[in-house]
Amino acid sequence: MTSLLHLDSSANRSGDSVSRELTELFAETWRTVHGPSGDRCRYRDLAADPVPPLDTAYCTLGRRLERNGLPSLTDIDAWIRSPAEEREWALTRPLITELLAADIVVIGAPMYNFSVSALLKAWIDRVGFPGVFTHPDTGDSLLRATKVVVITTQGGSYGPGTPREAWDFQTPYLRTYFGKQGVAEENIHFVSAELTMAGVVPHLAHQQPLAANSLASARKEVTSLAAAGRPVSRAGV
């Protein structure tokens, strides 16, 4: 059975967040297709339960492991040398475990200042612990078969051919990050809803029809991706 990890990173929890609306649409569609989810669907709200930023103990433990050939995830406890390192690993391991357990990850990623929110960046930094996504025997990525769907929402327009296309540091960053962690290129999908501020900011009011079309297109794509077939087998990973 497939499993889903559903992440929201919008600071806006008032009910009018477009990224939250779209990730919930993905999750609802996924549950409809795959039946009652039980513990196969994990939800993490990075605004309601923020991931703490890294500290010295996290870095010290990570560097010790790198110097010693990056032990497997199950062996990391044996390399902890202080209560501070123990606390950092206790914060980190559950996030890594639930990511590794997921066949599909859907991430709500609103654009903040041309990149991702600090809430999402803190999660990215913490799960990116040295070596945890590499098979200890084969060197293959444990995320190779994981499907990642990133739903970006942008107040303006940053798509290909627009004047601000080069200002979007969010999409290439996330594509590079997950690619570096070993997610297959064909398993990384981006869905974008643009001009989400058209109904709020007066000088963008004339863009409301374009915003509505972008949101409708995003909803259609989200539904299609959530209803798609199961990811490829993880055999041998």
* Residues contributing to the annotated binding site for FMN: 10, 17-19, 111-114, 153-156
- 30: number of Cβ within 10 Å: 25
Amino acid identity for residue 219 in this structure: R
How many other β-carbons are positioned within 10 Å of the β-carbon of residue 158?
22
**Binding site residues, as ranges?**
10, 17-19, 111-114, 153-156
Rounded-to-integer distance, Cα 136 and Cα 43, Å: 28
The crossing angle, in degrees rounded to 10, of helices 208-227 and 18-34 is: 30
Task: Give residues with Cβ within 8 angstroms of 126, minimum separation 6.
Answer: 51, 52, 54, 58, 91, 92, 95
Alpha carbon separation from 207 to 17, 167, 212, 213 (Å, rounded): 19, 19, 9, 10
